[in-house]
């Protein structure tokens, strides 16, 4: 386990905590020192948020039912066939069934 001490041989410079500022500003100062410039003024992120995506079914009047199938424990998982039955029943009752997805 190299850890912090074991990796020290690869450092060309070290930067300690900044006691008179918050962590974010301290990181900006350290990065500036490492790259050879002085941080001036507050951070300016100038972020532009994109327009929210419009769901493909947004113009429909049907109510939406989101089936949240993910779980952190295998013993809480439903069989796929159970989800199919619930989804089919909701669709039969006029719902637009959606499944969340992500990593």
Is 42 a domain residue?
A: no
Q: What pTM value is reported for the model?
A: 0.46
pLDDT for position 67: 94
- Domain shared by 31 and 58, yes or no: no
Burial 18-30 (b: 16+ CB within 10 A, else e): eeeeeeeebeeeb
For 31, the token pair is: 């990065």
Domain count, the chain: 2
In the predicted structure, residue 95 carries a pLDDT above the cut 90: yes
Lowest mean pLDDT among 22-26, 27-31, 34-38, 59-63: 59-63
Angular region, 20: left φ>0, alpha ψ -120 to 50, beta rest: alpha
In the predicted structure, residue 54 carries a pLDDT above the cut 90: no
Is 40 a domain residue?
A: no
- Domain shared by 90 and 59, yes or no: yes
- Domain shared by 30 and 64, yes or no: no
Is 22 a domain residue?
A: yes
CA–CA separation, 94 vs 20, rounded Å? 60
Q: Where are the beta strands (DSSP E) in 1-103?
A: 64-66, 96-98
Percent share of the chain, pLDDT over 70: 95
Is 41 a domain residue?
A: no
In the predicted structure, residue 103 carries a pLDDT above the cut 70: no
Is 83 a domain residue?
A: yes
pLDDT for position 40: 92
Average pLDDT along the chain: 86
CA–CA separation, 59 vs 93, rounded Å? 19
Is 12 a domain residue?
A: yes
CB 64 within 8 A of CB 98: yes
Per the structure, the complete domain to which residue 24 belongs is given by 3-35
* Higher pLDDT, residue 17 or 83: 83
């Amino acid at each position: 386990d190299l850890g912090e001490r074991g990796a020290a041989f690869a450092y060309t410079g070290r930067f300690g905590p900044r006691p008179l500022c918050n962590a974010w500003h301290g990181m900006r100062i350290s990065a500036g020192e490492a790259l050879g410039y002085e941080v001036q003024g507050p951070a300016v992120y100038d972020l532009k948020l994109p327009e929210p995506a419009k769901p493909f079914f947004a113009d429909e009047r049907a109510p939406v039912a989101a089936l949240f199938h993910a779980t952190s424990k295998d013993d809480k998982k439903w069989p796929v066939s159970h989800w199919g039955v619930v989804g089919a029943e909701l669709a039969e009752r006029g719902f637009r069934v959606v499944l969340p997805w992500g990593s």
